[in-house]
Amino acid sequence: MTPRRIQLSDDDHALARRRFLLGTLTGAAAVLAAGVVPGAGLRLAVASPMFPFIPDHYTFSRDQVYGAVARKFPYHRALAQVFDLALTNPAIGFEPDANRVAVSANVALTSPFLNQPVNGSLTLNTQLAYDAPTLSVQLKDPQVERSEFDASAEQYKQQIDAALAVAAQQLLNNYPIYTFKPDQLTFAGAQFEPGTITVLKNGIKVEIVQRTQ
């Protein structure tokens, strides 16, 4: 007996397509709800209602920020042939009220003007900004917030602080703490980019918005 061929109507085809699409969206939603996006390496937010495959923000943890900054240490420079400067043992802090990130480090200084090497500590803070050409979140305009040294260096504190200000710019200005992959900021032909960057008590929140032409 010849098998009977079943003919599907246009309505049947449409129903099948809707069921397939619903299953695909449900699976994708489950992945996003679990906060898993291949290659992202970040904690994700709930997806945007308009574009359900794109998270509405990324969150950087303290450990992630520390890992990025720590790659710049130890730092060693001769400054203006006056100071030989070494920075070691970095630590990260967050300043939500000022929306800035703090970086502290141990400092060792030698100079012809000093009778002996001087040890101390440095704390600087920096703002954050998104750099579109490199797709990266960067540290911007680091400023020396506080420095402490042995009493033997007190008379040279002004010169030391000036040297540290130069070192802070060389060390961390325009330094990327995270670089996005292009596919993290693209979906269905729509382009996205980081928007508002907010420093939290224990991390950094980067809003993701649709790019305007």
Least confident segment among 26-35, 172-181, 187-196: 26-35
Higher pLDDT, 50 or 98: 98
Angstrom CA distances, 207 to 24, 47, 129, 144, stand at 26, 12, 12, 28
Q: Is the pLDDT of residue 98 over 80?
A: yes
Cβ–Cβ < 8 Å for 47, 30: no
**pTM strictly above 0.75:** no
pLDDT tens track for 32-70: 333 333 334 455 444 444 445 567 889 999 999 999 999
- In the sheet that holds 203-210, the strands lie side by side as 43-44, 57-61, 203-210, 190-199, 186-187
Least confident segment among 58-72, 105-119, 120-134: 105-119
What is the per-residue pLDDT for 64? 95
What is the per-residue pLDDT for 54? 65
Amino acid, res. 43 = R
Alpha-carbon torsion angle 16, 20, 21, 24, nearest 10: 170
Q: How far apart are the first and last CA of the chain?
A: 63
Tell me which DSSP letter residue 113 carries. T
What is the per-residue pLDDT for 213? 67
Q: Environment class of residue 71 by beta-carbon count within 10 Å: exposed (0-12), middle (13-18) or buried (19+)? A: exposed
Average pLDDT over every residue of 84-102:
96
Q: Which position has the token pair 């939500």?
A: 96
What is the per-residue pLDDT for 42? 53
pLDDT tens track for 17-27: 444 334 433 44
What is the per-residue pLDDT for 34? 36
What is the per-residue pLDDT for 152? 79
Q: Is the pLDDT of residue 161 over 50?
A: yes
Q: What whole-number percentage of the chain has pLDDT above 70?
A: 74
Q: Which position has the token pair 């043992």?
A: 89
Higher pLDDT, 172 or 7: 172
Q: What is the SS3 assignment for 57-92?
A: EEEEEHHHHHHHHHCCCCEEEEECCCEEEEEEEEEE
